[in-house]
Amino acid sequence: MTKLIYAIEGLSVWVGRAFGWCILILTLSVSYEVFVRYVLNAPTVWAFDMMVQMYGALFLMAGPYALAQDTHVRGDVLYRLFPVRWQARIDFALYILFFYPGMLALFWYGAEIAADSWRYKEVSWNSPARIQIYFFKTLIPVAGFLLMLQGLAEMMRCWRAMKTGEWMPRLDDVKETEDILAEDPHALPISNTK
């Protein structure tokens, strides 16, 4: 079970890192558009569509990554006070009751939307460039599938935590500053010169 959990988590992390490059493309395209629009007075017809598609791709494909890294926002005022076994039971129930129905809907209706878009060879109506968007609409069911797959790994984590009473460690990736400081308070030297 551990190998399967880490394999799914590894896939989610890899996809998240790969689509993280959308931030660079988005930043460069926004910078280019601002320069040509305000300095050269020659706006492009494609930049807006590209920005929307890059942001949409990043948003959709970062979901499985965020779930794999346990970085989603959680209202844990009481949750964190519960023992691990109860946290796992609550998470397990919430995955079944809310997460999976939502992700199934995202996958199912996203597949219909993507199929229609491919059938019509849909293009954007936001600009005269008429950029194809059916490629990006394909990411909707792909994201739904990857989220369901990562949700399966999370449910297996919950099952294991219900049995053992401790959470399985996650694959290491980037860390928040407070996590680094919790591990080693001297990791980030702060100069105190006045």
| Residue range 116-129, pLDDT digits in tens | 999 998 888 777 77
Could you read off the pLDDT of 82-107 as tens digits, one per residue? 999 999 999 999 999 999 999 999 99
190: tokens are: 């702060």
Residue 146 confidence (pLDDT): 97
pLDDT at 65: 93
**For residue 158, which of 78, 88, 54 has the smallest C-alpha distance?**
88
What was the pLDDT predicted at 194?
47
pLDDT at position 49, please? 84
Whole-number Å distance between alpha carbons of 43 and 33? 6
Residue 180's pLDDT is: 66
pTM: 0.82
Tens of each residue's pLDDT in the chain, 194 residues? 889 999 999 999 999 999 988 899 899 989 999 999 999 999 888 888 888 888 999 999 999 999 998 888 877 788 888 999 999 999 999 999 999 999 999 999 999 999 999 999 888 877 777 888 888 899 999 999 999 999 999 999 999 999 999 998 888 776 666 666 677 766 655 555 44
**CA–CA separation, 50 vs 33, rounded Å?**
11
**Tell me, what's the pLDDT at 90?**
93
3-state secondary structure of 132: strand
Domain boundaries, the chain: 2-167
CB contact at 8 A, 173 and 13: yes
- Residue 107, pLDDT score: 96
Q: Which two tokens stand for residue 185?
A: 């308070």
What's residue 114's pLDDT?
Answer: 94
- pLDDT score recorded for residue 178: 66
